[in-house]
Amino acid sequence: MKKLLNTLYVTTQGAYLAKEGETVVVKVDQEIRLRLPIHTIGGIVCFGNVSCSPFLMGFCGENGVGISFLSEYGRFLARVQGPVSGNVLLRRKQYRLADDQEYSAQMAKYFVTGKIANCRTIVQRLLRDHSNKMTDDALSRSIAELSSSLKSLELNQSLDSIRGLEGDAAHTYFGVFDNLIIAQKENFTFQERNRRPPLDNVNCLLSFLYTLLVHDCRSALEAVGLDPAVGFLHRDRPGRPSLALDLMEEFRPFLADRLALSLINLRQVQDKGFTQTEAGVVTMNDETRKTLIVAYQERKQEEIYHPFLDEKVNIGLLFHVQAMLLARCLRGDLDGYPPFIWK
C-alpha cells in the first residue's frame, strides 16, 4: 500500500520556500520557520503571497511533488509539476473513452452513484445521532428522494439525464443541509449553495474544503498516470480539471461536508473568524483557515474500512486508491469503476 505523505499548506503571507540539501525550508522575514525532508511531502499548497525559489520548483518536480498556488481565499491560480508519470498508452485510452458518449455515461453513473449514496448516509447518520434536535419529516423525505435518485440511476440513462439526476439530488441534499447544523444557528445558516464568491459562512467553509479536495484528487490522478483535465461527468473546459472534479464527487459529502458540519456543530469554528465585505462576499481569517487545514489533515490520518479492498486504509489514501481503481477500470482490468461508498 502506498505510504500516506503529508501535504504542506503555507498560509503565512510573505513566506518564501526554498531548497536546502534534500529539504524544503519555509522562511518568514529571512528566518527559517520550518524544515521538512522532501521524501515526507506529498504536495505543497501555497495560499496568497507565498513565493518559491526556482531551484525548489525543479527539486519538487524531480521528486514528484506538485506545487499549487491559490489566492489567499482558496481560488486556484496555477500548478507546477514535473514530468507526467504513468503509461502514455493509458492516457491515450482515457482520451478515446472520454469521446465515447455511451462509455462516458456509464462512468458518470458510477461517480454520481457514489456522491448520492454518500449524501444519503450523511443525512441518515446525523438523523440517527441527533434525532432529538432535528426535524424528522424533512430529513426522512430527503432520504427517500435520494434513494429514489439512486434507483433511477440504475436505468439506462444518457449523459445529460445523469447530469440532471445529479443536479436534482444535490438540490434535495442541500435543501435539508441547514437542518444538519445543530449549533450556532444564529451565525451558521444555509439557504442554498453559492460559490465564486461564497455569500455566507457555511458556503465559505464548503468552498475552501472543496478546494483542498480538488488538489488531492488531481495529485492522485497524476500519480497513477491519468490526465486530470479529461473527465466523463464534467464537460471539458480550458483550465478545468474535469476528471479531478469527477473523482471528488464521492468525497464531497463524506469528507468535506461532514467535516464542515463537525467544525460548526462542535464550535471549532466561530462567526468571529469570518468577514463579509460591502459586496456581500464572505471570507475567513488566517486563524480559521489554519483550523480547517489542521482538521482536514487530522481527518485524513483516520482509518476507514474500504469495502472493495476489504481492508482498512487511511482516509488520506482513499484518493490514491480510487484513482488506481479508476485507472484499472479504464485499462479494462475491472468490469466497472467501484466508487467509494461510506456506510
Identify the pLDDT of residue 299. 92
pLDDT range class, residue 167, cuts 50, 70, 90: very high
300-314 pLDDT tens trace: 889 898 888 888 888
* CB environment 89-113: b (16+ within 10 A), e (fewer): ebbeebeebbeeeeebbbbbbbbbb
Tell me the per-residue pLDDT of 179-218, one tens digit each, with 9 for 90 and over: 898 888 888 888 888 877 888 899 999 999 999 999 889 8
**Cα 224 from Cα 284, distance rounded (Å):** 34
Distance of alpha carbon 167 from alpha carbon 240, whole angstroms: 19
As beta bridge partners, residue 166 has: none
Q: What is the pLDDT of residue 7?
A: 79
For residue 97, what pLDDT is reported? 95
pLDDT interval class at 1 (50, 70, 90): very low
**pTM of the entire predicted model:** 0.84
Structural domains of the chain, ranges and CATH numbers in brackets? 6-80 (3.100.10.20), 88-331 (1.20.120.920)
Of 49-63, 125-139, 184-198, 286-300, the poorest mean pLDDT is in 125-139
DSSP category for residue 224: T
Instruction: List pLDDT tens digits, range 229-260.
Output: 999 999 888 878 999 999 999 999 999 999 99
